Structure 1
Amino acid sequence: MGHLESLVEVLSDYSRCAVLERNGSRIVVLERGARILGAFLGGSPNLLWVNPKLEEELSEGGWNVGGLRLWISPERNFFYRRPEEFEDWFCPQGLDPGSYRIVEASSDRAVLEGEIAAFDHLAKDELKGLVRREIRLLEGGAGRLRLRIRERILGEYRSRINPWVLAQVPTGYAGVGTVLAPARRGAEPIPYFGEIPRNRLRVSANHVSFRIDGNFVAKLGIKPEDLREPGLGSIGYVYRIGRRLWSALILRTSNIPLTQEDCLDVPRHDPSLPRAALQSYNSGPEAFEDIKFGEIELQLTPTENFSGRIFASVEYDFIAMVGSRGEVLKGIRRILGIAKPRLY
C-alpha cells in the first residue's frame, strides 16, 4: 500500500483510522491493534512496511499487517505455547489486535486506549491490563517527520514485562537495506535466533550494521552494556525508495534498560546468553514464504510491580527522513552519531 488514499480506503472496511498531518507529512493510525500503519513525507511512498496481502490479513484476523506496533516481552513466556522448547509460536489475540479504540484525534495527535490480555505459558500466570497510546506528530515537512509516542500500561501480573516496540520496514527499491545500531567499541552482538552469517553482520568501532533483505531468518540483539550512552537507545534503518531517493527510519528513546536485570527477553538460540535492549529482525522464506520485511525494535524500561499490579510509562520518538543518499546520511550522522555508516 504505497499511497495514503488507497491505504485508508482499504482500512476503512475493517477499522476506524485517523490521519495526522503537518506540513505535508502524514501519519495513518489504525484503531485495530493501535498501529501506526502509514508514514508519508510529501509525495513519498509509505515508508513503513505494510503487508501486500493487507485485506486478506485483516479479513482473517491476522496479526501481520505491518507498521509500528506495541507488544510485550519476554516473548518466550507469552508467544510460545511450549516455552521450554521455544516451540509452537503464536500471537495472542488479546495482545494484538487487542481491543483498542481511538478516544481522541486531531490534526496532529491521536490517543488510543484498550484492554490487553495474555497467558504466561512459562509461569502459568494471567496478565490483564489497560494500555493508553498517545501519538503526536511533532515535526513535519522538509524531508523529515518526527513522532513522539507515549505508552502507558497498567495491569495485573505477578512479575514484570518490557514494553516492546516494533517497526516493520520494507526492503525497498534495491531489495536490501541496512539496520544501524550505535554501539561502543568492542560491542558483542547477540544472535537471538541462531548464529548470524558474517555477510549479514558488521561490527564497527561505533556501530553495528545488519542486513535486511527478507531472505534469511535472523535476529540481532544489542545489550544495554554495549550502548554508547547508558540509558539512551537508538536504532535506525537506511534503504532506497527510488533510483536516487533514500530514506531512513529511526527509533530513539531515553527509556531503555540500563542493565541485564531489566532486559527480560531471552534469546531463543541460547537462553543463557545476555539479553538485549535493541533488536532487529530479518524475515525469510522459512517463516514467510511470499513476503519480505525487516523490523527495528526497542525493549523499553520494564514495568514496576507493586503487589501484583504493574505499571509503566515510557516515551520514544519515531523519525523518518527522505532525500538523496548524502542528505539521509547527514541525518544519520546528526541523530545516531555515526559518521561513516557501513551500508549493504
Structure 2
Amino acid sequence: MASDRNIPGTFGYDLNFLNRYKETLVLSDSEGLAQVVIVPGWQARVMTSTAGGPDGFSFGWINYQLITSGTVNKHINAYGGEERLWLGPEGGPFSIYFQPGVKQEFSNWQVPPELDTVAFDLVLAGANRAAFTKNFRLVNYSGNILDVGIERTIELLGKEAIKQALGMEIPDSLRGVAYQSENVLINKGKNAWTKEKGMLSVWMLSMLTPSPEVTVFIPYKQGGEAESKPPVRDDYFGKVPADRLMVENGMIWFKADGKYRSKIGIPPDRAQKYAGSYDARNKVLTILWCDLPEGKREYVNSKWGDQENPFDGDVINAYNDGPVEDGTQMGPFYELESSSPAASLKPGESLTHRQRIFHFVGNEEQLSRITMKIFGLSLDEIKTRF
C-alpha cells in the first residue's frame, strides 16, 4: 500500500512537500489526528491542516508549482495557505499595495514583501501553540509612513475548547480540527494613524481547495438599522451572475468551484461573526468565526482607484478563483476572509483581531447538526442550493 506521504491531497503528502522547501512547525493534538502546519518563513501562515493525521484530508490550498519552481514573482507570490495575515487597505488613497502616484491597476499592484515573502520571528513554540512577531515600515498611497508591529499567536483548539466555542457537543463520529489565531497590530511609529493620513486593518485570508460541489454560506443581519444597506457587495470583479450568488432570508449563498473569478463582501451593518462552506464531494464542513466588535465601527475600503469613502469597507469576504482575461489562472482555490475595524491608533497602541477556523469531516447527518446549531441550516439545504 502506498505511503500517505505519496498520496496527493493528504496531510502527510503536503507536510512532506513543504519540508523539502521551507522550515515548518506542526501543532498537534495528543492523538496526532488534529494537526496544523505553519511556515514561519511565509509570515507564519497556516499552510494546511487535517482532522485525520498524516493520511487525513488536507484542507488548505498549496501552490505546488510556484513553490517547486523557487521563483520569486513580481506583484505577489501566492504560495497558498489556509490562513495568512495581510493588512488592508488594498486600494484607494491609503492603499499599501500601490506606490504613491501610480495608477491603481494590476501592472502597478505589489504586495509588500513583509506580507508576501518575508519571515516572521518565532518567539514561542509548544505542542499546540506558537507565537511570532515582526516589525516593519510601510508607506501608503498618500505617501504617509506607517511603522508597524505584528504579534501573531496560533493555537490548536482541543475538543473542550471547540465545544465551548461552538456551544455544542461535537459527535464522536466526526473528525475535526480547529485553531484560533490572535493577531495584534501595533503602531510602532511616532504619529497617530488617522482618517486623514490613513489607517490599517488586520486582514485574514483562508485559501481552501475548491470542488464542483463547494457552496459558501454567510448569514447576514436583517431588520432595523441593518436594512439601510444592501447585505452584500458583489461588484469587486464585475457583478456576480445569479447562478453563482443568491441572497435570501438572512443567508448569502456563493458558489466556490474555482472556475469563475468573483468576490463578495458583507458590510459591518449586515455582517455576523460566522461564515461557512461545505464541500459535498469530500464531505468537509468549514466554519470561520471572527471578532466583530460591538457598536459602530469603520472598516477600510479595499476597492482599487477612486473611492467616495475610504472607510466604507467589508468585514467578511469570500472569493472564488477563476481564469483571468488572458485565460491563465492562479489557482484554482477559494477564500474565506475576515477583517478587523480600521486601526485608529496612537503611538504604542494596538488592535487585536481573532479568527477561528473549524473543519469537520464525516457523517452528513452529524455534520447537519452543526450547521443547524450555528447557521439554522440543514446540510440538505446547503447541498441543493446550486
Structure 1 residues 301 and 57: alpha-carbon distance in aligned structure 2, compared to 1, 3 A threshold: farther
Superposition deviation, residue 110 in structure 1: 1.2
**Aligned partners of 1:95, 1:128: CA distance in 2, in Å?**
14
**Aligned partners of 2:284, 2:66: CA distance in 1, in Å?**
23
Q: Does 1:280 align with 2:318?
A: yes
Tell me if structure 1 keeps the 8 A contact 2:90–2:304. no
Matches within 5 A, 1:168-187: 168-172=207-211, 175-185=212-222, 187=230
Moved more, 152-161 or 91-100: 152-161
**Aligned partners of 2:375, 2:252: CA distance in 1, in Å?**
12
The one-letter code sitting in structure 1 at the alignment partner of 2:9 is G
Superposition deviation, residue 233 in structure 1: 1.8
| Identical positions, percent | 20
Superposition deviation, residue 258 in structure 1: 4.8
Residue of structure 2 equivalent to 1:137: 156
Tell me if structure 1 keeps the 8 A contact 2:300–2:341. no
TM-score, scaled relative to structure 1 = 0.86
**Aligned partners of 2:121, 2:348: CA distance in 1, in Å?**
23
Unaligned runs of 5+ in 1: none
Structure 1 residues 322 and 91: alpha-carbon distance in aligned structure 2, compared to 1, 3 A threshold: same
Tell me if structure 2 keeps the 8 A contact 1:179–1:210. yes
Tell me if structure 1 keeps the 8 A contact 2:103–2:305. no
Higher strand share: 1
SS across alignment from 2:178: strand
Please, what is the CA RMSD of the aligned residues?
2.6
Residue of structure 2 equivalent to 1:27: 36
Deviations 1:259-285 (A, max 9, x none): 4x5111243498448521111111111
Superposition deviation, residue 324 in structure 1: 3.1
**Aligned partners of 1:152, 1:145: CA distance in 2, in Å?**
23
Aligned residues: 332
Deviations 1:290-313 (A, max 9, x none): 63111100011332311x555212
> Which one of the candidate residues 325, 335, 340 is aligned to 2:364?
325
> Which one of the candidate residues 328, 335, 338 is aligned to 1:295?
335
Superposition deviation, residue 181 in structure 1: 0.7
Tell me if structure 2 keeps the 8 A contact 1:193–1:268. no
The one-letter code sitting in structure 1 at the alignment partner of 2:84 is R
Deviations 1:118-170 (A, max 9, x none): 3212x212323221111111125841222121111213363321100000111
Structure 1 residues 310 and 278: alpha-carbon distance in aligned structure 2, compared to 1, 3 A threshold: same
Structure 1 residues 201 and 320: alpha-carbon distance in aligned structure 2, compared to 1, 3 A threshold: same
TM-score, scaled relative to structure 2 = 0.77
Residue of structure 1 equivalent to 2:241: 197
**Larger Rg over CA atoms:** 2
**Aligned partners of 1:25, 1:189: CA distance in 2, in Å?**
34
Tell me if structure 1 keeps the 8 A contact 2:121–2:133. yes
Moved more, 56-65 or 129-138: 56-65
Residue of structure 1 equivalent to 2:72: 60
SS across alignment from 1:198: coil
Matches within 5 A, 1:146-165: 146-155=178-187, 156=189, 158=193, 159-165=198-204
> Which one of the candidate residues 16, 24, 42 is aligned to 1:17?
24
